């Protein structure tokens, strides 16, 4: 990838090396580079005026070069997003995470993360951390999905925090506790306890979202506080290399550091994606942001609410695409794993799981991961010139296993 990819809690990623071939963002480019464009525009206007005043006359474009005017394909659009903001804004929250420190740590305090440093929020957080003897780790966003105070955010926003503070749109602050998180999808659930029911937003069905649909993103960019931006869905199904479960919306609504964990809404005020990462050469938005669709997030959130963790299925094989005629080829089998116990062999091509056709390794990983450990699946395979079906008992996916 030509441009660096980064999730927008900067300090979190300073603790974790960037993926191979990628770098964390550099300083923003100066706006002065726009001046040549403006000057060229002015020079063009002057040249045309001279031609009209005394130079050679301009040649008008032939009408035959252009198609006749047609009615717009999109007849209507939102004149303002204000009603939508009023409806969903109270349910969007700002999240600050901090870590307790001793006197030695205080003397060697690390600088604030880029999501806060250099913004009006910096002074507020420095004062708060100094008063409480804590070290600020970062800031992010989230949203309430339940009147009881259940909040969805990104796992990288709250990971490693000793204390989580949630700020509502009216400035009210609450301490929050971590209910559960899932690093593979970067989703976390936290909860606050308020003396009254909280405003919340519902999930929308991201499967109904089309490329070109309007979308509104909300969050806490650069720690400045609640903000909204609007744009369209630029693409679906983006794989940005963060995990085997990547299936992102690409959106052009501006997303910046601090927006991590914030929601993206459809025009009905339903959450259809969770803002997670951006591509940028500058550290700010260049119109390429990524949100994880609700069809993936919502079931994970429900399991985190009930169990605090995600149990995923595992087969114990190493896979390779390009088997031809559909399916994925097994190129390695873990000793004593589910695949070995099911008598699968290296060279077998898995063409389907139960009645679900399999065309890529990613499809197989996702299909098996969605199965409950200890459940049984039917694997349809091609072994040399023969086809057969084998029963396999799904294992429990190891934490660091990236194959299936």
Query: Does 321 qualify as catalytic in the annotation?
Result: no
CA 165/CA 151 separation, integer angstroms: 12
CA 368/CA 354 separation, integer angstroms: 10
User: What would the two tokens of residue 398 be?
Assistant: 């190891």
Nearest alpha carbon to residue 257 among 152, 114, 89, 111: 114
Q: Which of 182, 186, 247, 401 is catalytic?
A: 186
Q: DSSP 3-state assignment of 323?
A: coil
Nearest alpha carbon to residue 200 among 146, 241, 242: 146
Residues 205-222 as b/e (b if ≥16 CB within 10 A, e otherwise) read: ebeebeeeebbbbbbbbb
Q: DSSP 3-state assignment of 150?
A: strand
Residue 282 phi, psi (nearest 5): -115, -20
- What secondary structure letter does DSSP report for 289? E
CA distances from 321 to 85, 237, 349, 359 (A): 45, 18, 10, 8
Work out the burial of residue 232: count CB atoms within 10 Å of its CB; fewer than 13 is exposed, 13-18 middle, 19 or more buried. Answer: middle
Q: Which of 141, 156, 226, 227 is catalytic?
A: 156
Query: Does 260 qualify as catalytic in the annotation?
Result: yes
Residue 94 phi, psi (nearest 5): -100, 140
Query: Does 182 qualify as catalytic in the annotation?
Result: no
Q: Which of 7, 115, 181, 260 is catalytic?
A: 260
Residues known to be catalytic: 156, 186, 260
């Amino acid at each position: 990838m030509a441009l660096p990819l980064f999730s927008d809690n900067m300090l979190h990623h300073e603790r974790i090396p960037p993926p191979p071939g990628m770098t964390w963002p550099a300083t923003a480019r100066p706006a002065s580079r726009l001046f040549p464009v403006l000057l060229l525009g002015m020079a063009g206007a002057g040249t045309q005026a001279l031609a009209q005043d005394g130079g050679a006359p301009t040649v008008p474009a032939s009408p035959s070069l252009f198609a006749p005017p047609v009615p717009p394909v999109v007849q209507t659009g939102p004149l303002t997003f204000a009603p939508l903001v009023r409806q969903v804004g109270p349910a969007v929250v700002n999240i600050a995470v901090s870590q307790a420190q001793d006197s030695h740590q205080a003397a060697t305090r690390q600088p604030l993360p880029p999501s806060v440093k250099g913004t009006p929020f910096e002074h507020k957080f420095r004062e708060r951390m100094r008063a409480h003897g804590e070290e600020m780790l970062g800031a992010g966003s989230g949203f309430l999905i339940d009147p009881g105070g259940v909040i969805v955010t990104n796992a990288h926003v709250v990971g490693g925090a000793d204390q989580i503070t949630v700020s509502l749109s009216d400035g009210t602050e609450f301490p929050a506790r971590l209910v559960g998180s899932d690093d593979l999808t970067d989703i976390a659930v936290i909860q606050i306890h308020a003396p009254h029911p909280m405003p919340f937003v519902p999930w929308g069905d991201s499967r109904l979202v089309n490329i070109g649909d309007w979308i509104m993103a909300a969050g806490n960019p650069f720690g400045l506080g609640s903000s909204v931006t609007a744009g369209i869905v630029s693409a679906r199904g983006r794989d940005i290399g963060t995990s085997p479960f990547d299936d992102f919306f690409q959106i052009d609504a501006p997303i910046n550091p601090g927006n991590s964990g914030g929601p993206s809404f459809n025009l009905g005020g339903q959450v259809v994606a969770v803002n997670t990462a951006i591509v940028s050469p500058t550290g700010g938005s260049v119109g390429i942001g990524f949100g994880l669709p609700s069809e993936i997030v919502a079931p994970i959130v429900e399991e985190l609410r009930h169990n605090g963790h995600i149990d995923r299925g595992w087969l114990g094989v190493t896979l390779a695409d390009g088997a031809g005629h559909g399916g994925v080829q097994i190129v390695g089998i873990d000793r004593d794993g589910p695949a070995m116990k099911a008598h699968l062999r290296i060279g077998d091509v898995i063409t389907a799981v139960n009645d679900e056709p399999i065309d890529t390794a990613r499809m197989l990983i996702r299909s098996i991961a969605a199965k409950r450990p200890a459940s049984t699946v039917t694997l349809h395979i091609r072994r040399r010139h023969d086809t057969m079906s084998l029963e396999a008992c799904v294992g429990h996916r190891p934490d660091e296993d990236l194959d299936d």
